[in-house]
Amino acid sequence: MSKPKKCILLGATGSIGESSLRVIRKHPDKLKLFGASAHSQAEKLISIAQEFKVTNLHLSRSPDALGSPSLETPINFGGNGLEELAAHPEADLVVIAIVGTAALRPTLAALEAGTDVVLANKESLVLGGRIVTETARRTGARIIPADSEHNAVFQCLQGQNEKSLDSIVLTASGGAFRDLPIERLKEVTPEQSLQHPNWKMGPKVTIDSATMANKGLELIEAHWLFGLPSDKLEVVIHPPSIVHSVVRFVDGCCFAQMSPPSMTFALQNALLYPERCSGVESSLDFSKAMDLSFAPPNLKRYPCLKLARDALTQGGSAPLAFNASNEIAVDAFRLNRIGFLEISDIIDHTLNKMSHAQPNSLDELLATDSYARRLSSDRVDALGK
């Protein structure tokens, strides 16, 4: 019997982190937690370390966040510790469950070390798609998608000739306000935006689902993972979140992947790939009536989706600016500094202020990212409370 894969879980304390731990807990003969990171939740990281007997630990926020740790194993802080953990020479797999742009450097570090990456984070591909995919190609490390839509596409493509792929249809739930009259969107609060109808996820991705900036980020993510241009990437609203995406082949046949709306299905597929074993949760129950409706998104309700598609079509630094600006706008909305509808205003304003030349290095990329954040913060100050 082969040894369990040694997994490093970056962002172990978040929603994707928890779902990954459920899969690892279920398959101790196949997966071993070998390292873990958190940002602020030190006590939760300690309890994960104790349960899984892990000694490679990193906390990326300052040490004073640690309080009084009751652990024999020291926790590593700050510096390049996250990248060093991601590049650990003994790791077989690095799971990127960190939210936001902070995931870019550790993703690159793992790929540079030649280690396969299970990628849940989408912002790193939107920010650094070219450099991330080029690093993987150069070192031979694989990027196994764990975002449910991209994992669905990944599953549908297994055993197919890549030349037979025509297009991809990404499904979207439509988020918290899919049925709210459009004129009432200006009143919605951060708390209401965090009530997702189908998925239990971290706060940033839940608000991104309500604006459909999430699907916009996923369009760009799909472009880098599967090499298709914008006009071969469709989006459809599918309220039950059972079909996780559809692949259309050149002969017109479509393949879809279906499972209940829980991330354990995509994560288990990615973590155990290419093996399939019994799942953490029950499969779909076809003895009961099931709705599988699909409808095109109304771009008046979801302006962030249009902005993301335009950014993908424009290329250069436009996707990066979309991502940076969205992060600033979502933070400002969560702090009640701006209204829900101003999220798209801030992104639009930032995209219009920039020239979108292609950054040629990681430093240039990060400098452009900082510039986009500055422009967006200025716009928040101009609009906000």
Residues that bind Mg ion (CB under 5 A): 147-149
Structural tokens at position 21: 């731990």
If the CB atoms of residues 261 and 315 are measured against Mg ion, the closer one turns out to be 261
Size of the residue set binding ligand NDP (CB under 6 A): 29
Q: Minimum CB separation from Mg ion for residue 176, in Å?
A: 15
- Closest CB to ligand NDP among residues 70, 161: 70
**147 or 327, CB closer to Mg ion?**
147
Query: In Å, how far from its chain's centre is CA 155?
Result: 17
Alpha carbon dihedral 243, 157, 111, 53, in 10-degree steps, equals 50
Instruction: Decide if residue 105 touches ligand NDP (CB under 6 A).
Output: no
DSSP class of residue 9 equals E
- Whether residue 319 is preceded by a cis peptide bond, meaning omega within 30 degrees of 0, is no
Q: Does 31 bind ligand NDP (CB under 6 A)?
A: no
Residues 255-314 that bind ligand NDP (CB under 6 A): 263
Q: Which is nearer to ligand NDP, 266 or 349 (CB)?
A: 266
Q: Residue 99 touches which of Mg ion, ligand NDP, none (CB < 5 to 8 A by kind)?
A: ligand NDP
Q: Does residue 102 belong to the site contacting ligand NDP (CB under 6 A)?
A: yes
Q: Is 40 in the site for ligand NDP (CB under 6 A)?
A: yes
Under the binding rule (CB under 6 A), the answer on residue 121 touching ligand NDP is yes
C-beta of 60 vs 257, nearer to ligand NDP: 60
Distances (CA, A) of 42 to 11, 51, 76, 168, 235: 12, 14, 11, 40, 38
Show the tokens assigned to 218.
Answer: 């996923």
Cβ distance to ligand NDP smaller for residue 38 or 168: 38
Query: What residues from 124 to 163 belong to the interface with ligand NDP (CB under 6 A)?
Result: 147-148
Per-position DSSP letters for 154-209, written without gaps between them: HHHHTTS-GGGEEEEEEEE---TTTTS-GGGGGG--HHHHT--SS----HHHHHHH
Distances, alpha carbon 118 to alpha carbons 17, 95, 98, 135, 364, in Å = 12, 5, 12, 15, 26
Nearer to ligand NDP, 8 or 263 (CB): 263
Element (H or E) spanning 347, and its range? helix 342-353
Q: Is 319 in the site for ligand NDP (CB under 6 A)?
A: no
13 binds ligand NDP (CB under 6 A): yes
Which residues share a beta bridge with 254? 248
Compute the distance between CA of residue 232 and CA of residue 198 in angstroms, rounded to an integer: 27
Cα 241 to Cα 226: distance, rounded to the nearest angstrom: 22
Q: Site for ligand NDP (CB under 6 A): which residue of 157, 180, 199, 315?
A: 199
Report the residue from 21, 24, 31, 38 that binds ligand NDP according to the rule CB under 6 A: 38
State the maximum Cα–Cα separation within the chain, in Å, rounded to a whole number.
62
Strand stretches in 213-279, DSSP E:
233-237, 243-249, 254-258
| Options 17, 81, 129, 359; binder of ligand NDP; rule CB under 6 A | 17
Q: Which of 60, 269, 317, 376 binds ligand NDP (CB under 6 A)?
A: 60
Interface residues with ligand NDP (CB under 6 A)? Answer: 11-17, 38-41, 60, 97-99, 102, 120-123, 147-148, 199, 201-205, 263
